């Protein structure tokens, strides 16, 4: 069973994440979307909201599961018996950042990181831009799956 973890904050889930996950489904038997919990970080959406957005977006996809975790991603991979970490790459900034993390994870474990290049039309989307649009009352609905809605 080829199982991958897709870790992130997902504050909130965007069409960029959605694209990487749906393309990842063709490569892996199972993808666990792992919402990282960091007590020092301030989030716009609660853990429950973030989980709910993702669970609803993938409710028709049995290969996608949603979990939350604290601590090192490689420890969570071991716990879940996952040999792969899936990450998306948008730009050179992502590459430099991800390279250091992937090398560190390789130093700490045997877990292999697999990168998918963002689809061309999605490369500008990030959770932080979505939060900015929301904060300023803009129309965010074209940037996120339709399960991400603010009541």
Active site residue: 90, 109, 119, 123, which one? 90
Q: Give the CA distances from residue 75 to residues 5, 23, 38, 56, 101, in Å, rounded to whole numbers and listed in that order.
A: 11, 25, 15, 27, 14
For this structure, is 17 an active site residue? yes
| Interface with ligand ADP, residue 9, by CB under 6 A | yes
Q: Specify whether the CB–CB gap between 113 and 102 falls below 8 A.
A: yes
| Interface with ligand ADP, residue 67, by CB under 6 A | no
DSSP 63: T
| Interface with ligand ADP, residue 10, by CB under 6 A | yes
Tokens of 9: 């904050």
Find the shortest distance in angstroms from Cβ 1 to ligand ADP.
Answer: 22
Touching ligand ADP, residues 82-111 (CB under 6 A): 87-88, 90, 94
Contacting residue, 127, 130, 144, 145, with ligand ADP by CB under 6 A = 127
Contacts of 84 (CB under 8 A, 6+ apart): 2, 3, 4, 5, 28, 77, 111, 112, 113, 114
Q: Specify whether the CB–CB gap between 37 and 51 falls below 8 A.
A: no
**Helix (H) or strand (E) segment spanning residue 109:** none
| Interface with ligand ADP, residue 23, by CB under 6 A | no
| Interface with ligand ADP, residue 125, by CB under 6 A | yes
| Interface with ligand ADP, residue 51, by CB under 6 A | no
Active site residue: 41, 42, 107, 120, which one? 41
| Interface with ligand ADP, residue 52, by CB under 6 A | no
**Enzyme catalytic residues:** 17, 41, 90, 127
């Amino acid at each position: 069973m080829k199982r991958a973890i897709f870790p992130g904050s997902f504050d909130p889930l965007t069409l960029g994440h959605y694209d990487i996950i749906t393309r990842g489904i063709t490569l892996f038997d199972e993808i666990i979307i792992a919402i990282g919990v960091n007590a020092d970080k301030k989030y716009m959406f609660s853990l429950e909201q973030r989980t709910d957005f993702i669970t609803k977006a993938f409710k028709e996809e049995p290969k996608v599961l949603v979990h939350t975790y604290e601590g090192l991603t490689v420890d969570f991979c071991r716990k879940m018996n996952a040999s792969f970490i899936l990450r998306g790459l948008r730009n050179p900034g992502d590459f430099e950042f991800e390279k250091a993390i992937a090398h560190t994870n390789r130093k700490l474990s045997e877990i292999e990181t697999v990168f998918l290049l963002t689809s061309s039309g999605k490369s500008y989307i990030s959770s932080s831009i979505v939060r900015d649009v929301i904060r300023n009352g803009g129309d965010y609905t074209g940037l996120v799956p339709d399960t991400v809605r603010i009541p």
